[in-house]
Structure 1
């Protein structure tokens, strides 16, 4: 009987897509959308969103900051940025000390724009602000999430605290009839 080496699909895909060769020499940050498990859609046009497709797109950018320990940011340090080209300045999601979700016009503002992603067992994440220690909460509809206490124990996490990171959605188009 032959024995085969079992290699998880994630490992194979990482070799195919992230091998670091010259084809992948440029920085590639795909656009994503955030949906809470309650169906809430996080809009990036803070404030004054009209729900256009491009207003649901974000880029998750990894950040290195030696002043933040792994215990403070177990999911790494990330910024939630608007995709380039929408404004003349790079805009990031930020949480003020008064727990208000806002747009930072300077993504170099540090802690106010830093988040960590806390994974859940169902594939979703909590999005925790490293500035205030609160998590983003989305109840229903679309818009700007509110904030609430994170659940960092083995307790069940409320669905409005859990976010799925999904591919960006855009308008559907009919295929031409042939």
Structure 2
């Protein structure tokens, strides 16, 4: 009988004991903020959205950090897909530089000019049934597009969004995919 009680006590102590003290969060991922670095490419043209603030010889010239923005002036009910900024990757400058609207073009400059024109750097990603997204600027309500046959690296322009998503040839130049950051590479020696 004593053996059974001893065995039961040991079993219960193992069952109810924890290997870590209470209150310590073992899930490291919950405590870290991961910001993805991406390359923005035209789905049908392969056009690459370039960061002109950086020397074009550097791989970072085609990279952006995708940063989610929370601004009470723009509620989720109005922007159900959320709001993001395309920021220059950290470590290149001391200030935050973002892709933002300047006229009908996108430039890379300070994310916020003294708190003014922040919404010029706010974009909403609108999913499509192709796996690509439309990139809509919050301030203008227009979408990014690459010219027909727009190949290579450059800066997209803005035009009226092709919405609702319909079967139209016009939508193809507004479709973008967010690719993992990549750069020049060569064949490795064997």
Aligned residue in 2 for 1:129 = 137
Unaligned runs of 5+ in 2: 1-25
Runs of 4+ in 1 over 6 A off after TM superposition: none
Equivalent residue in structure 2 for 1:112, among 102, 120, 136: 120
TM-score w.r.t. length of structure 1: 0.78
CA contact (8 A) 1:91 1:104 kept: yes
Q: For each residue in 1:149-172, what CA deviation from the matched residue of structure 2 results, as whole angstroms up to 9, or x when unmatched? A: 112213135221000111111222
Are 2:185 and 1:172 aligned?
Answer: yes
Q: For each residue in 1:2-52, what CA deviation from the matched residue of structure 2 results, as whole angstroms up to 9, or x when unmatched? A: xxxxxxxxxxxxxxxxxx912452211121101012111001124x76264
The separation in 2 between residues aligned to 1:91 and 1:163, in whole angstroms, is: 21
Deviation at 1:89, TM superposition (A): 1.4
Unaligned runs of 5+ in 1: 1-19
TM-score w.r.t. length of structure 2: 0.73
Q: How many pairs were matched up?
A: 157
The equivalences for 1:1-178 within 5 A come to: 21-37=27-43, 38-46=45-53, 50=56, 52-96=58-102, 98-107=103-112, 109=116, 110-139=118-147, 140=150, 141-156=152-167, 158-177=171-190
SS at match of 1:158: helix
